[in-house]
Amino acid sequence: MSFFLTRPNKALAALVLLGGFAVHAHATEDAADTDEQLYSYLFPEGPGASAGAPAVAAAPVVDSQPRPLSAFGSENRRKGWTAAQIDAMKGAFKPRPAPIQAAPEVAGAEAAGPGFQGPVTGELKDSPYADLVNKYAAKRALDPQLVHRVILAESNYNPEAVSPKGAKGLMQLMDSVSERFNIDPYDPESNINVGTQYLAELMAKYKSVDLALAAYNAGPGAVDKYMGVPPYPETQNYVSSIKAGMASASAAQVEARKL
């Protein structure tokens, strides 16, 4: 009795096992076809890309916007994503750097402090970057003598100067100021453009050459804290030396006009 029951059970198990193999083979074949079609779509120029594509893919297809070729070249047959393909995909979606922005104008700067007195004359007329100083001093309604004296005190006209605190360029801009306007502080024109803009903002805020210079040197926070020129020897010498230089230049101009 058991002999006749055992044989049908084994046969039935064999049929089930064969059926499972058939289903697995069919699923594997479908997955391979799907991978092949996906590859053919993503890399239409790849070798053998059309081998696994449906027959209709060979017929002409009308498309309002032709599909571009992939960026990976015909030699890169996909066997899974390669490191080069991953890097290329990452690079394609990197954010572009922000464009350099012009320094915005400051309302009220025209009425703040000593206004533009015309191109520099006298001892500073042949100074480096005199044309740029005249251009941006006029744009910000600043005395070009003042701008020249700030550059002399800050960097002595060295566009590559870097202070121990990290200020850079001709007018010794801190990184926070350079980043605010998205400029290269070592570029002379960008530095003077933004440096004069920043100086004009301080002039408009404090309505005083002394306080604007003190804030340029020590920071607006120090001026606000002490409600005047901070009691720092460096800042006090900075303000007095620039004002003395401007007074000397003005006296020389007056004497030159008398001759």
In single-letter form, the type of residue at position 137 comes to A
Between CA 259 and CA 255 the distance in angstroms is 7
Q: Is 154 a catalytic residue?
A: yes
Which two three-digit tokens encode residue 102? 């012009």
Name which of 136, 132, 138 is nearest 115 in CA terms: 138
CB atoms within 10 A of CB 186: 16
Neighbours of 150 (CB within 10 A): 25
Cα–Cα distance for residue pair 128/158, rounded to 1 Å:
9
* Structure tokens belonging to residue 135: 């251009």
Residue-wise DSSP of 134-193 = HHHHHHHT--HHHHHHHHHHHTTT-TT-B-TT--BTTTTB-HHHHHHHT--TTSHHHHHH
Residues 34, 23: Cα–Cα separation, whole Å? 16
The vertex-129 CA angle with 123 and 131, nearest 5°, equals: 85
Catalytic residue among 154, 160, 189, 255: 154
Which residues are catalytic, by number? 154
